[in-house]
């Protein structure tokens, strides 16, 4: 689909064990059941996947699916690191220290090199979860850019602060390119402005957010959604974004555009987004410090 639209993109991979079944403990979090009921988790993931690590062994993704990962690289797309163990990272990283964080991230870096034959140039945090040590690890790994956090959004998915965009985390060099649009699973089934968002109108809703914006956006998609049952929606978005005048770019393309610009420094900040349970890493322009060009 991406190639048919001459669209660049960045594929981020989980590289270790698939413990999707461990996510069942999130049922005790506020807002979890409303999200699950809206997005049909069983329908999109399948029962087998939801049992990995619980009643079924956790598959080793990097070992068992190397060919699938390499197919994205062979097709000309940028590939990078999502995490080692998605559920473990998403549910644990906020409370862990430097040693645990570095060990997990370096395990993912080593596996990426073993699969792709070269180091990753970028990272996108699982569940948009990080800690201060993880941001510093980016510099140690040599990442020039990453997309680990989110822009704060209003209930309809529009940007709360139009200044939100590329920045650095204070004390680090790696450029952060935060996701600035809501994801499909954050919108589907919600009632916004008196209208219930369905598969029939969700593309139109997202396109209102990007129409005439005069700015760059980062959109996070999930292959198990936009690549499968929701692929007709993604097809609509690709066609319409081109018609709106957007260049469909990878994170590497975006970084090349902004790397020489003076970017602000933000502190590590947390916040909640409409349609998603729990707190995420968020970009906070209100706490920005003016940036300076860096070599």
Q: What is the pLDDT of residues 170-195, one digit of tens each?
A: 999 999 999 999 999 999 999 999 99
Question: What is the per-residue pLDDT across 199-218, written as a single tens digit (0 to 9) for each?
Answer: 999 999 999 999 987 899 99
- CA 282, 134, 64, 69 torsion-angle sign: positive
Per-residue CA distances from 148 to 113, 198, 257, 270 (Å) = 20, 28, 18, 12
Does the pLDDT at position 165 exceed 50? yes
Give the tens place of pLDDT for each residue, 98-141: 999 999 999 999 999 999 999 999 999 999 999 999 999 999 99
Q: What is the pLDDT of residue 33?
A: 46
pLDDT for position 47: 54
Residue 283 bridge partners (DSSP) = 151
Token duo for residue 248: 């469909």
Please, what sign has the CA dihedral across residues 26, 30, 35, 37?
A: positive
pLDDT recorded at residue 186: 97
Q: Specify whether the CB–CB gap between 49 and 20 falls below 8 A.
A: yes
153 touches 160 (CB < 8 A)? yes
| Residues 226, 219 contacting (CB under 8 angstroms) | no
How far is CA 196 from each of CA 4, 24, 71, 160, 190, rounded to the nearest angstrom? Answer: 31, 27, 38, 21, 6
* Cα–Cα distance list, 58 to 53, 61, 190 (Å): 5, 9, 33
Burial of 290 per CB tally in 10 Å (0-12, 13-18, 19+): exposed
Task: State residue 54's pLDDT score.
Answer: 55
Look at residue 69 in the predicted model and tell me its pLDDT.
97
The architecture of the domain spanning 10-287 is Alpha-Beta Barrel (3.20)
- How many alpha carbons fall within 13 Å on the CB side of residue 36? 14
SS (H, E, C) 50-119: HCECCCECCCEHHHHCHHHHHHHHHCCCEEEEEECCHHHHHHHHHHCCHHHHHHHHHHHHHHHHHHHCCC
Q: Please report the pLDDT score of residue 28 as a whole number.
A: 42
pTM of this prediction?
0.88
């Amino acid at each position: 689909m991406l190639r048919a639209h001459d669209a660049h993109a960045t594929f981020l991979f989980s590289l270790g064990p698939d413990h999707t079944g461990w996510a069942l403990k999130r049922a005790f979090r506020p807002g979890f059941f409303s999200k699950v009921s809206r997005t049909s988790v069983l329908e999109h993931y399948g029962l087998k996947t939801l049992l990995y690590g619980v009643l079924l062994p956790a598959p080793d993704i990097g070992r068992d699916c190397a060919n699938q990962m390499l197919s994205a690289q062979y097709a000309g797309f940028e590939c990078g690191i999502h995490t080692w163990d998605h559920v473990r990272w998403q549910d644990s990283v906020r409370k862990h220290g430097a040693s645990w964080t570095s060990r997990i991230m370096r395990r993912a870096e080593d596996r990426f090199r073993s699969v792709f034959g070269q180091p990753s140039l970028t990272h996108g945090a699982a569940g948009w979860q990080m800690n201060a040590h993880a941001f510093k690890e980016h510099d140690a790994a040599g990442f020039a850019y990453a997309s680990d956090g989110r822009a704060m959004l209003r209930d309809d998915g529009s940007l709360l602060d139009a200044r939100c965009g590329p920045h650095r985390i204070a004390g680090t060099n790696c450029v952060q390119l935060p996701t600035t649009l809501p994801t499909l699973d954050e919108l589907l089934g919600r009632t916004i402005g008196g209208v219930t968002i369905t598969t029939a109108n969700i593309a139109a809703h997202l396109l209102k957010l990007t129409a005439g914006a005069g700015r760059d956006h980062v959109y996070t998609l999930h292959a198990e959604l936009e690549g499968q049952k929701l692929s007709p929606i993604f097809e609509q978005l690709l066609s319409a974004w081109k018609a709106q005048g957007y260049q469909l770019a990878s994170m590497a393309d975006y970084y090349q555009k902004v790397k020489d610009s003076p970017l602000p420094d933000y502190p590590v900040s947390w916040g909640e987004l409409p349609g998603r349970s729990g707190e995420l890493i968020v970009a906070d322009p209100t706490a920005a410090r003016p940036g300076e060009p860096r070599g």
